[in-house]
Amino acid sequence: MSIVDFIAVVSFGLTCFGLGYTFGKDNNKPQK
């Protein structure tokens, strides 16, 4: 596994985490 592959995986993981955190935070708002 090369450094470039590692950076790509980390960037992908951080992006998914950021999107999930944003959507999760929005979903936690009271909706009625």
User: Hey, what amino acid is at 1?
Assistant: M
Q: Tell me, what's the pLDDT at 15?
A: 93
How far is it, in rounded angstroms, from Cα 7 to Cα 1? 10
Tokens 């980390």 -> residue: 10
How far is it, in rounded angstroms, from Cα 2 to Cα 6? 6
Stated length of the chain? 32
Question: pLDDT (tens digit, 9 = 90+) per residue, 1-32?
Answer: 799 999 999 999 999 888 888 877 777 666 66
Longest alpha-carbon distance in the chain = 49
